[in-house]
Structure 1
Amino acid sequence: MNVHDILQNPDEHVRFAAYLDKLGHVGDPDEVDLVSRVLADPDRTMAQSAVLRHLDRRAAGLHPGPAYEEWAQTMTQATTDHPFLAQRLREWSLFRAVTLKLPWQPGDLLASSNWLQLRTATGTNTEAVEILAEAGRTKRIRNAARAGRTHRSSNEARL
């Protein structure tokens, strides 16, 4: 089934599932075109949701490696007219910087979404976890960071 066939189905749930399937199997050379075509769906919310899942899946797999940078730039161009998706890609890049201990700014982390703060609060970057334990946006984020900090301290004490 191609994207044109998917668009012919009036049920957005069926289209969503079909898009996820297509995005899950797309090759690198065709990814930008497919993302653009999905984002052209008349149901903008559903289309962005499908692409968001795709971006999260791909970024999670790519962020530790060198291929991430080029992929993120390409996807940023493909999602430029979709602020939420572009923001998620920026946050994945910040998450990458924090987890790989590349340069990053504490203010960027504190200004980020709950999604990124919570993801980072359970990570291994001590500086980021400390920042979020003290100034994370929500009680849940602060508690997650404090729990991670306590867990890490008890593990270090055992060593």
Structure 2
Amino acid sequence: MAAVLRDQDTAMAQSAVVCHIDRRADRLLTDSRFAAWVRTMARATAGRDLLARRLTEWTLLNTIELGRPWVSEELTAAAGWCRRTAITRQVATSPDALRLLAVHGRPRRVRNAASHRLRHPEQTR
């Protein structure tokens, strides 16, 4: 991770790390090791706002997936990838999160997908 982030092409380095974060977080999302992994990644990526935000949004998804209390404004203000992921996860998504996104999600595609998941909870995209 450190070697990748030292690359002179900052955009490419951060893109590679985002891909790694996304793959790993997706696998660990409901795993008991998730929080420790996020702490480790936060230390390794310190000072990089894009990567910190990505970890924060994955932590929000973890909170929602585990049924813990979460703040609706965080989800509606989250990046598009995060809102789409909240809708399309293959594991059970919080009905409260789906209802929020069905009404307040942006763009319309997110609202429509959330509405569809609420009407057809047995289907995932």
TM-score for the superposition, normalised by structure 1: 0.72
Provide Cα deviations, 1:55-106, integer angstroms capped at 9, x if missing partner: 1111111121111101101101211221111101001000011111112111
| Distance apart, 1:122 and its partner CA | 3.1
Distance 2:46 2:113 in 1: 32
Counting only pairs closer than 5 Å after superposition, residues 27-106 of structure 1 correspond to structure 2 as 35-106=1-72
1:132 paired to 2:101? yes
Alignment root-mean-square deviation, CA: 1.1
1: distance between equivalents of 2:5 and 2:107?
32
SS at match of 1:75: helix
Residues in 1 aligned to 2:86 and 2:29: alpha-carbon distance in whole angstroms: 14
Distance 1:78 1:104 in 2: 26
Count of residue correspondences:
119
Match of 2:111 in 1: 142
Does the 8 Å CA contact 1:99/1:125 hold for their aligned counterparts? yes
8 Å Cα contact 1:79/1:86 also seen in 2: yes
More helix by share: 1
Alignment of 1:109-120 (within 5 A): 109-120=75-86
Q: Which runs of 4+ in 1 moved over 6 A?
A: none
Percent of pairs with identical residues: 39
Write the distance in 2 (CA, Å) between the matches of 1:84 and 1:36.
16
TM-score, normalised to structure 2, is 0.90
- 1:95 aligned partner, one-letter code: L
Partner amino acid for 2:28?
L
Larger Rg: 1
Q: 1:151 aligns with which of 117, 120, 125?
A: 120
- Greater RCO (CA < 8 Å, at least 6 residues apart): 2
Within 2, Cα distance between the matches of 1:61 and 1:132? Answer: 23
